[in-house]
Amino acid sequence: MATEQAFIPVAAPDLGETEERYAVDAIRSSWISSSGHYVNRFEAMFAELCGARKAASIVNGTAALHLAIEAAGLQPGDEVIVPSLTYVATANAVRYAQGVPVFVDVEPHTWCLDPDLIEAAISPRTKGIIAVDLYGHPADMDRIREIARKRGLWVIEDAAEAHFAGYKGRVTGSLADLTVFSFFGNKIVTCGEGGAITTDDPELDARIRLLRNQGMDPNRRYFFSVIGYNYRLTNVACALLCAQLERREWLITRRREIYRRYRDQLADVAGVGLQPVAPWAEVTPWLFCVTIDAERFGRTRDDIMAALQQNRIETRPFFIPVHQLPVYTAAHGGRSLPVTERLSANGLNLPTFSGMSDAQVDRVCAALIAAGR
């Protein structure tokens, strides 16, 4: 009787003894809410690693996006340029602040916001740009920031999927006015739920800290000068993040080894396209990405997902374009974003996590290749 193969998830956290020790220490200290040694330690460590002056811990990545947009000064009715090929939170956070997301297509050679299309999307109501580092690849921040500078716009980098990704010798976290991170359970660095905002601007940092703490005056307890939010992250979560940051070299190095092993085995498979990488970028792999040319491969993307599921291998399709979601379709006006739509229809995420073995990568590749025969 054949033994059933073990299930391979699309993502899994990598938590070890250090995470356990720090979390227990935080619990035993009785500091389990939003104050404590690990909060301060995480914020200082993360800012330094990102090359930023300040980092604020936030309850999750979506809340971090919302706070960044609020801190940037968005007013009701203001427009923000965003790529449509992203997780819906990028656009939702604009709506939380009563702004209007304006969707722009992505570049075929980075899958990130296309700088060549930004100017045409700017109107008198445009106040900012959110550039998303998709699937671990940074957006072309120098070009985007130059456009923003000329037009008087702020820039937020959504680096939720690209912790410590490289851009021209720098890393995500210091490339925009504000950079937002997520530490959800499937992310490169994780604490289950969590987020952060980095910036070089002390005034923006102070505004973020005011807003995340219900708007309470930092110099007068229980005096609230503005309407804020309860967006603080706990000391226990920050304890996990401190441990993850100490182990970051292993986490990132192993992901890059998995990434290279996938590329080596799938690079010459007809009908399978690999994520492009710009010459100035160093990807921090979140999920390994391929596109499927059904005519050349012989099966559709969805056929492959079903075949891999039969082999107990979990996969994910690319994000549905946000401009095609019911809550955004009408406002977008039916305009086509061809690169986004093509990638979404054909894109496939394969299992990627630092605890994944070489044998598991080989099994995924073999099952994908076999699905086309």
In 221-300, which ranges are continuous DSSP H helix? 235-246, 248-266, 294-297
Of residues 45, 54, 26, 7, the one with CA closest to residue 246: 45
Alpha-carbon distances of 89 from 60, 82, 92, 130, 140, rounded to whole Å = 11, 11, 5, 12, 21
User: What is the signed CA dihedral for 105, 108, 111, 117, rounded to 10 degrees?
Assistant: -30
* pTM of the entire predicted model: 0.96
Q: What is the pLDDT of residue 226?
A: 94
- Which parts of the chain register pLDDT below 70? 1-3
Q: What is the rounded CA–CA span in Å between residue 14 and residue 341?
A: 33
- Amino acid symbol at 58: I
In the residue annotation, 127 being an active-site residue is answered as no
3-state SS, one letter per residue, for 150-218: HHCCEEEEECCCCCCCEECCEECCCCCCEEEEECECCCCCCCECCEEEEECCHHHHHHHHHHHECCECC
Q: What is the pLDDT of residue 2?
A: 52
Q: What is the pLDDT of residue 86?
A: 98
pLDDT tens, 47-100?
Answer: 999 999 999 999 999 999 999 999 999 999 999 999 999 999 999 999 999 999
Q: Is the dihedral of CA 154, 158, 164, 167 positive or negative?
A: negative
Could you name the CATH architecture of 17-246? 3-Layer(aba) Sandwich (3.40)
Q: What's the N-to-C CA distance of the chain in angstroms? A: 26
Q: How many C-beta atoms lie closer than 10 Å to residue 349's C-beta? A: 20
Q: What is the pLDDT of residue 334?
A: 84
Contacts of 45 (CB under 8 A, 6+ apart): 242, 245
* CA angle (300, 302, 308) in 5-degree steps: 105
In 56-151, which ranges are continuous DSSP H helix? 61-71, 89-96, 118-121, 141-151
Residue 291 backbone zone (phi > 0: left; psi -120 to 50: alpha; other: beta): beta
Is 244 within 8 Å of 251 (Cβ atoms)? yes
User: Where do the domains of the chain lie?
Assistant: 17-246, 248-371
Q: What is the pLDDT of residue 1?
A: 43
Token duo for residue 205: 């940092």
Contacts of 109 (CB under 8 A, 6+ apart): 276, 278
Same fold, 17-246 and 248-371: no
Taking the domain 248-371, which CATH number applies?
A: 3.90.1150.10
